[in-house]
Amino acid sequence: MENKKTYLGKIASAIESLATGMGITGKEFFTPKVTECYPENRDTLYIFDRFKGVLEMPHDENGNSKCIACGMCQTVCPNDAIVVDSEMVEDEASGKKKKQLVKYEYDLGSCMYCNLCVEICPTDAIRFNTGFENAVFDRSLLNMTLHVAKAGTAKKEETSVLADKPEALEKKEKPDQK
Amino acid sequence: MEVGKTKKKELVKIKSIPYKDFKNNDYLEEMVRELHENGVNVVVGALDEAINWGRGNSLWPLTFATSCCGIEFMSVGAARYDMARFGLEVARASPRQADFIMVAGTITDKMAPVLKRLYDQMADPKYVIAVGGCTISGGPFKHSYHVVKGIDQILPVDVFIPGCPPRPEAMLYGMMQLQRKVKLQRFFGDVNKKEVSEKEYEERMKRDMTANS
Amino acid sequence: MSVQNKISQQFPTAQIEEKSDRLIVSINAELLREMAVMLYNDKELRFDFMRSLTGMDWGEAGFGVVYHLESTEDIKRQLELKVVIPDRENPFIDTVSDLWKTALLNEREVYDYFGVIFIGHPDMRRLYLRSEWKGFPLRKDYVRAEGLDMTNEEPDDSTVTWYRDKNGVPRSRRYNLFESGEYVVNIGPQHPATHGVLRFRVSLEGEFLKKLDVHCGYIHRGVEKLCESMTYQQTISLTDRLDYLSSLQNRHALCMCVEKAMGLELSDRIQYIRTIMDELQRINSHLLFFATFCMDLGALTSFFYGFRDREKILDILEETTGGRLTMHYNVIGGVEEDIHPNFVKRVKELLAYLPYALEEYRKVFTENIIAKNRLIGVGHLSREDAISFGATGPTGRGSNWACDVRKRIPYGVYDKVDFKEIVRSECDSYARYLIRMDEIKESMRIIETLIDNIPEGNYREKTKAVIRVPEGSYYTAVEASRGEFGVYLESRGDKSPYRLKFRSTGLPLIAGIDTISRGEKIADLIAIGASLDYVVPDIDR
Amino acid sequence: MFDFSIVTSSIHAWLSEYLSQGLAIFVECVAVGIGILALYAIIAIIMIYMERKVCAAFQCRIGPVRVGPFGLFQLIADVIKMLIKEIIIISHSDKFLYNLAPYVVIVGSVLAFACLPISQGLEILDFNIGVFFFLAVSSIGVIGILLAGWSSNNKFSLIGAMRSGSQMISYELSIGLSVLTVVALAGTMQFSEIVAMQSSGWLLFKGHIPAVIAFVVYLIAANAECNRGPFDLPEAESELTAGFHTEYSGMHFGLFYVAEFVNLFIVSAFAATVFLGGWMPFHVSGLDGFNRIMDYIPGALWFFGKSFFLVWVLMWIKWTFPRLRVDQILQLEWKYLVPIGLVNLSIMALCAVFGWHF
């Protein structure tokens, strides 16, 4: 008799546990969904400002950056993602020899976002922006040139990847809270 | 880039993102130009368009993940980012049924033949997305003795998504890039087949079967 | 009699050095077997838990193996056994895998890295690299052969074992792991249930598992070798990618190890932040565990619930650290950036939300009769085996072994907070699952006590641009999401480590999976694997 | 209630005017064949779309939305993709059986589909042992699955197929028992008559307790019969990659995929027909006004409404529970469902004999 009771008891408790489970999923069926529609919400999407997307080198209106071509970032990078090309230029005023940036190359495809380069930079010439739309068909586009000196005047960010940066995202960038 | 701007023609439309906001459009323009040079029959062209619309909107990924990027790939599939919106959620565990492989995570020397085999096992037409630094260049493990320095050495990669790991939105963006590419290809003709000859294919299959079951 | 006296009495040639936290004993390879048997069996010593086994290349001095031993009876009994193998040409050493089963895979790892052969080990194959691989990568004089081998691996189930003949000369013998006629199924490396790229060769009898052979190395990235050529600041970013679900904790371990070695004092604020972050990471990891566990058992909807709630934690972490998975947050001497102004508020919101989520998990999965039937009594791992395999973390605690590093050797501010170490005695998959669910609650309690009391102070202490660690060997462990994550650092005073070994949390679990799953059904293998919750890149490193 | 037999007989009469009797029947057969295949395809598309949307809703996400309005064209895209996808022939497989298997599965499924009375007079196969025939043809599918698993020359496929075989054959018994229970009540095996006798009330209510038990047992067993979760062992993704169809690609895989979903519809529709009155509107005896309003809703709508409701319930079950283990599945069948079914059948027999039903 007892055996039979447990047999039926088992069925009852099983059905009960299954019903609770179905109750939960049934409730979720009707609750609003949590999905964020990424491409649709592109204009309102907020990316945390500490998120590291792409390394960038801000330039002032004359196309000059703060980089002094010391090459610290290149040394500290674990991945050789940064190549600083510099030359020695004689300063006309003082006559002293000074390093000047010729080309600043950055390989987005190798970067591991460890932030060591930004940290070590003595002049805060580089920083990470929050751009994440970087997928491309052509590997070589991930090799970016952040700075290039052309006939004396440095030109602003050159590569198409950076130039294409959507304005919507640019607006939301705020200075670091640090 | 200048040339691309003068054309100003929207080759392919993706909902919610204007054509000009996409990166690397010149690649697509170049691709389409090459296709046109080969000459397309109008009827076939129209049919192609319909087919490519279907193919572009129905890309089923292979569940393949080796490391960190795989977790983000799972996030893309999960509720918050939900790649089902794009019809991409039918992740197939069997390579025979998948359309593209998201290589998410480091590929090591030991894994490389396996990955190659998985790719070979997939049915045509098939695509490869390289996700994250490791698959693009070896990433953090670039100097390691046991890591492949970029899977483009072993597979024809269609889209590169940089990041370590790329955030889910970046992955979605990469998938949309792939959709754009697929929609512009021609199904008829062999443009999209970067494949081996029939004979070598058979040979490889044979090797597959004997190597492991 | 103290441990020290006992050893010096038995082995007069052993060099003993006493450190504040452990005893360092150096011996020659011939003595190892005798010493190991004594350490393991002696009633007063009883070093039954091998924390870590590290291979070494000491250059001129030969190869070496370093064993970190602990007694589960008295955690004060800590021993670091350094064994030197002077013969570089024919490095032989006796196995200890019959005493500590965790050595089964660890010794294979040492063989793989250094070519040191363990006599008496039943299965002396390479662990990570392919059998055709030339050279032993972690030797200091290793040069990688050019080219990528794209040939398919041949399914070879034969292995080699070494023994000493009558004259004491080492000889090898080949044998097959599986008998002919066994139905051997290959699971992995690309298989949805292996959580990455792990490969099992499974011998089946109907649906029952007869034997299981693990193949690792499909994501072996050579992190330890890489570290030897990197500065300390650079090495810490690699730890994030080992067990990417414990990235903060892993990094905590390495930073702590270097800080300890340098004698760097940290402000309380750093300790608090690190502890809170570790616990957030643990919740994150356990939620992911819940999600994948349910997925492996076929409850796909629960998978989505787990991920849904995990995103809330990721948001908090991302806001402060700037990363969702690889956070790059801890640095040597503190944390990279101070906590975000929103941090405290958001954490509190999370703490308010989580109980609701946990209740939902309980109703939809934990209490579910199907889940219970599939898990209770499945995958038995006895306490002895857990200790022997070194299966720490929730797995060990599910086998009634209180092995929480946070309690054993407190770090951070764990000695200041009151929390329970969850231990269960059922030893099955369900216990391992429940422990993780309960640990979420404990982590919440820890965060709750700490979040309001984060003291003011530096979030980052000043360090030199080039960090040099004083000569010596250091071992530090933290309780990562899935067990003890240890860092063994040997420094020669350079700006990069001489040898850096990470004690994997997953390798002991994998070592034990054959024992756990034998005689169970193939579907149970999936449940067992899921309940162990290993992360493959952490195993392969 | 509109009777479709008027339409069909008028078409027949019209055709017979121009053609000989044999030819007319032949033309009708072809037309019906095309019609049923088209309907089958439409149902498949609806089912898959529904599955994807419903499971998304259970999982706090929104499912396909970007292809067409509400993602409605998603499935069309999938079909196009599927059709042009390469069909890989495995070199070490039994090619004939390997190619045959998906068609066996689909034929069984289409035949079973043909049995269902969609509306009054709109039934394709309707004869005195209809229920029996339905059970027979719906079990053809298992042969296809076994063939697929065996001929693929893949160990995972084989295990999946073997699991499937043992599972489906076992659960056939429960389905049979629960259907017999209803047949005992209805006293006929012809679908049209079973539906007709429910005009006064659905069999689920007429047969009260034993019918409800039979209904529940049937739902569980039918779920298992379709290899749907929590009984989706043959294709348990986390264990066996994709189970018996691991090696299939392109449209061959598509056929398995489609058959799986349509089978789900078929078993639901069968349950709707036998237990819930099929196309028969919801009637409450005594409330004539209410009954008349109900009659205005076309029968096909009733039929599809009930069927899809049951499909939704089965999806709800699938997306809630974890998967059972193979021995537990058999245990559930042999230790619980079969004894319950047998006892239930005898109770129903008593009820039928003594008239203890409504």
Tell me what pLDDT residue C242 has: 83
Residue D329 — pLDDT band, cuts 50, 70, 90? confident
- The Cα-based distances of C61 to C81, C139, C225 in angstroms read 16, 13, 20
Tell me what pLDDT residue A152 has: 46
Closest Cα in chain D to A23: D320
Which CATH number characterizes residue B39's domain?
3.40.50.12280
The verdict on residue D70 lying in a domain is no
3-state DSSP helix/strand/coil % of chain D, to nearest 5: 75, 0, 25
Tell me what pLDDT residue A155 has: 41
Which residues on neighbouring strands pair with residue C191, listed in sequence order? C196
Residue B3 — pLDDT band, cuts 50, 70, 90? very low
Per-residue pLDDT reduced to its tens digit, D139-152: 888 888 888 888 87
| A168 has pLDDT over 50 | no
Closest Cα in chain B to A141: B24
Question: Which one is predicted more confidently, B129 or B47?
Answer: B129
Mean pLDDT over residues D42-70, rounded? 85
Mean pLDDT over residues D143-172, rounded? 82
Please give the model's pTM, rounded to 2 decimal places: 0.87
Residue A1 — pLDDT band, cuts 50, 70, 90? very low
Contact check, Cβ <8 Å, D60/A25: no
Q: Which of the listed CATH numbers 3.20.20.70, 3.30.70.3270, 3.90.950.20, 2.40.10.10 matches domain A54-172? A: 3.30.70.3270
* Contacting residues of A for C230, CB less than 8 Å apart: 78
Beta strand A97-107 with A143-150 is: antiparallel
Contact check, Cβ <8 Å, A51/B167: yes
Residue B203 — pLDDT band, cuts 50, 70, 90? low
| D94 has pLDDT over 80 | no
Per-residue pLDDT reduced to its tens digit, C179-217: 777 888 877 777 766 677 888 888 888 778 888 888 888
| B142 has pLDDT over 50 | yes
Q: How far apart are CA A20 and CA A10, in angstroms?
A: 15
| Burial tier of D72 (Cβ tally within 10 Å: 0-12, 13-18, 19+) | middle
* Contacting residues of D for B92, CB less than 8 Å apart: 242
Q: Where are the domains of chain C?
A: 1-134, 227-540
Which range has the worst mean pLDDT, A115-129, B30-44, B174-188, C143-157? Answer: B30-44
Domain C1-134 bears CATH identifier 3.30.460.80:
yes
Minimal CA separation from B181 to chain A, in Å = 9
Which residues on neighbouring strands pair with residue D203, listed in sequence order? none
Contact check, Cβ <8 Å, D91/B206: yes
Tell me what pLDDT residue D241 has: 63
What average pLDDT is seen over chain D? 81
Which residues on neighbouring strands pair with residue C491, listed in sequence order? C472
Contact check, Cβ <8 Å, D80/B50: yes
Q: How many helices (H) and strands (E) does chain D have?
A: 16, 0
Per-residue pLDDT reduced to its tens digit, C252-287: 888 888 888 888 888 888 888 888 888 888 899 899
* Strands (E) located in C269-385: 330-331, 334-335
> If contacts are CB pairs under 8 Å, which of residues 23-42 in chain D contact chain A?
none
* Contacting residues of B for A166, CB less than 8 Å apart: 21
- Token duo for residue B39: 């000459």
ipTM exceeding cut-off 0.90 for this assembly:
no
Contact check, Cβ <8 Å, A111/B164: yes
Which range has the worst mean pLDDT, A23-32, C274-283, D197-206? Answer: D197-206
* Contacting residues of C for D61, CB less than 8 Å apart: 304
* DSSP conformational letter for A117: H
Mean pLDDT over residues D315-325, rounded? 85
* DSSP conformational letter for C96: -
Per-residue pLDDT reduced to its tens digit, D256-294: 888 888 888 888 888 888 888 777 777 776 777 777 777
Tell me what pLDDT residue A176 has: 41
Q: How far apart are CA D201 and CA C226, in angstroms?
A: 76
Contact check, Cβ <8 Å, A28/D59: yes
Domain that holds residue B158: 25-206
Mean pLDDT over residues B33-60, rounded? 72
Number of domains in chain D: 1
Pick the residue of A52, A130, A137 with the most B CBs within 10 A to test the interface with B by mutation: A137
Q: Which CATH superfamily is domain C227-540 in?
A: Cytochrome-c3 Hydrogenase, chain B (1.10.645.10)
Tell me what pLDDT residue B159 has: 87
Beta strand C92-94 with C117-119 is: parallel
b/e map D117-134, b = 16+ CB within 10 Å: bbbbbbbbbbeeebbebb
Which range has the worst mean pLDDT, A117-126, B45-54, D130-139? Answer: B45-54
Mean pLDDT over residues B62-66, rounded? 81
Residue B108 — pLDDT band, cuts 50, 70, 90? confident
Number of domains in chain B: 1
| Burial tier of D193 (Cβ tally within 10 Å: 0-12, 13-18, 19+) | middle
| A157 has pLDDT over 50 | no
* Contacting residues of A for B27, CB less than 8 Å apart: 136-138
Proportion of chain D above pLDDT 90, given as a percent: 0
Tell me what pLDDT residue A154 has: 42
Residue D234 — pLDDT band, cuts 50, 70, 90? low
The verdict on residue D336 lying in a domain is yes
Residue C63 — pLDDT band, cuts 50, 70, 90? confident
Q: How far apart are CA A80 and CA C303, in angstroms?
A: 39
Tell me what pLDDT residue C44 has: 78
Domain that holds residue D145: 88-354
Tell me what pLDDT residue C370 has: 84
Per-residue pLDDT reduced to its tens digit, C282-304: 899 899 888 888 888 888 888 88
Asked whether C413 and C450 are in contact (CB, 8 A), the reply is yes
* SS3 per-residue string spanning C442-469: HHHHHHHHHHCCCCCCCCECCCCCCCCC
Contact check, Cβ <8 Å, A115/C336: yes
Residue A169 — pLDDT band, cuts 50, 70, 90? very low
What average pLDDT is seen over chain C? 84
